[in-house]
């Protein structure tokens, strides 16, 4: 399922971000090269997390639309059988 793959990818990105934060705590402020590499890694990971968030948001929107359609179908089928649903 796409949701399971997205979840695994999101978990991996979160774990990577935690590792980067731990690495950031050990970097000296005078080590410019390491700081620049760390910033690049953090931005790359952040971008991946934002893409995962957007994908999850899309899946949630799709699930909401499906739930609304199922509810409308249920109400319509009950009306056709003579049952009222408030």
Please check whether residue 6 lies inside any domain of the structure.
yes
Please check whether residue 24 lies inside any domain of the structure.
yes
What confidence score (pLDDT) does residue 16 get?
95
What confidence score (pLDDT) does residue 86 get?
56
Please check whether residue 86 lies inside any domain of the structure.
no
What confidence score (pLDDT) does residue 60 get?
96
DSSP for 17-71 reads HHHHHHHHHH--TT-HHHHHHHHHHHHHHHHHHHHHHHHHHHHHHHHHHHHHHHH
Please check whether residue 41 lies inside any domain of the structure.
yes
> Is the confidence at residue 82, as pLDDT, over 80?
no
Please check whether residue 59 lies inside any domain of the structure.
yes
Please check whether residue 53 lies inside any domain of the structure.
yes
Number of domains forming the structure of the chain? 1
Please check whether residue 72 lies inside any domain of the structure.
yes
- pLDDT, tens digit, 9 for 90 and up, residues 23-81: 999 988 888 999 999 999 999 999 999 999 999 999 999 999 999 999 999 988 888 77
> Is the confidence at residue 85, as pLDDT, over 60?
no
């Amino acid at each position: 399922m796409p949701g399971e793959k997205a979840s695994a990818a999101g978990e991996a990105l979160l774990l990577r971000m935690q590792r980067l934060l731990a690495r950031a705590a050990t970097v000296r402020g005078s080590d410019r090269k390491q700081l620049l590499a760390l910033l690049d890694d953090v931005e790359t990971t952040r971008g991946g997390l934002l893409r995962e968030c957007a994908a999850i948001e899309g899946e949630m929107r799709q699930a909401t639309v499906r739930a609304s359609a199922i509810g409308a179908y249920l109400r319509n089928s009950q009306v056709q059988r003579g049952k009222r649903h408030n």
